[in-house]
């Protein structure tokens, strides 16, 4: 899956933002563009990124698997990233996660059969005072003070959009 010439040009522009020898710093913005193209980060594309940046493929995999904003396997149309860190758990995040698993009939990291939802618990979303918190890709809008009722209406709304 070779990159388009337009993408390669963008990659070169991004590389120019960083001092000579610091091409690896361009990795994050480039991975965002690659994920925009594919919806996730296929290994072949990450290998090409390594070539573009003249770094080892493992260096790309390390970054892609470290940040939860990157998906290293295909995801559903809507990625439900729910915070599972302590402060959100104190106000019920674990119950919400369990409810989502039962409602969608999937486990953490899985995607519903209709391809609509992926459930991806993540660490702190930096909105600890408004937990439980969920951000929903692809636009990553925050939904705060979650309740079972809010989850039901959110899921209904997204299902109706299809």
Footprint on this chain of ligand FES (rule: CB under 6 A):
83, 85, 87-88, 124-128, 131, 133
Minimum distance of ligand FES from residue 143's CB (angstroms) = 12
Minimum distance of ligand FES from residue 145's CB (angstroms) = 12
Residues pairing with 8 in the sheet:
none
- Tell me whether residue 116 or residue 124 sits nearer to ligand FES (CB atom): 124
- Tell me whether residue 17 or residue 98 sits nearer to ligand FES (CB atom): 98
Minimum distance of ligand FES from residue 68's CB (angstroms) = 13
Query: In the chain, where does DSSP find H-type helix?
Result: 5-16, 27-38, 43-53, 57-66, 86-90, 93-104, 148-161
Is 132 in contact with 82 (CB distance < 8 Å)? Answer: yes
- Tell me whether residue 55 or residue 136 sits nearer to ligand FES (CB atom): 136
Chain centroid offset of residue 80 CA: 9
- In angstroms, the Cα distances linking 112 to 58, 83, 136, 140, 153 are 30, 20, 15, 19, 18
- Tell me whether residue 104 or residue 122 sits nearer to ligand FES (CB atom): 122
In the block, tokens 């059969």 appear at: 113
Q: Is 27 helix (H, G, I), strand (E, B) or coil?
A: helix
Minimum distance of ligand FES from residue 151's CB (angstroms) = 16
- Tell me whether residue 59 or residue 144 sits nearer to ligand FES (CB atom): 144
Closest alpha carbon to 121 in 150, 74, 145, 86: 86
Minimum distance of ligand FES from residue 104's CB (angstroms) = 21
């Amino acid at each position: 899956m070779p990159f388009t010439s337009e993408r390669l040009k963008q990659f070169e522009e991004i590389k120019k933002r960083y001092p000579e020898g610091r091409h690896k710093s361009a990795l994050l913005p480039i991975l965002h563009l690659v994920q925009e193209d594919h919806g996730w980060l296929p290994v072949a594309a990450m290998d090409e990124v390594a070539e573009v940046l003249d770094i080892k493929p493992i260096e790309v995999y390390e970054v892609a698997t470290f940040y939860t904003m990157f998906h290293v396997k295909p995801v559903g149309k809507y990625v439900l990233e729910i915070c599972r860190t302590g402060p959100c758990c104190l106000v019920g995040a674990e119950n919400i996660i369990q409810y989502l698993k039962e409602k969608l009939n999937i486990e953490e990291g899985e995607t519903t059969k209709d391809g609509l939802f992926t459930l991806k618990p993540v660490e702190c979303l930096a909105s600890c005072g408004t937990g439980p918190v969920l951000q929903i890709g692809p636009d990553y809008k925050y939904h705060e003070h979650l309740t079972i009722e809010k989850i039901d209406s959110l899921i209904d709304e997204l299902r109706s959009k299809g």
